Amino acid sequence: MRFLADEASFIDSYDNIAFTLKRVKRARMFRGRELVKGRLAWSGLAYVLPQDLINFDYDIRIGRFV
């Protein structure tokens, strides 16, 4: 399944805080998580860049989720 979005976030609804990355032109973004015996072992967002991309920058937004 493929989804297109302008940004991706992790949200802690208990503490009402979010970590957000915006889509970067020419980059692909993936999300993932790993569960080990009923607990979350890893979760993350990753950019995959084309080989010919020389400069890359991104913004991280951390704040309250509204």
Instruction: State pLDDT tens for residues 15-24.
Output: 888 888 888 8
Angstrom distance (rounded) from CA 66 to CA 59: 19
User: Would you kindly state where each structural domain of the chain is located, as residue ranges?
Assistant: 7-64
Chain position carrying tokens 């890359």: 56
| Distance of alpha carbon 38 from the chain centroid | 22
Nearest Cα to Cα of residue 19 among 57, 54, 59, 63: 63
pLDDT value at residue 19:
86
C-alpha 29/C-alpha 48 separation (Å) is: 6
Q: What is the pTM of this model?
A: 0.65
Token output for 2? 């493929």
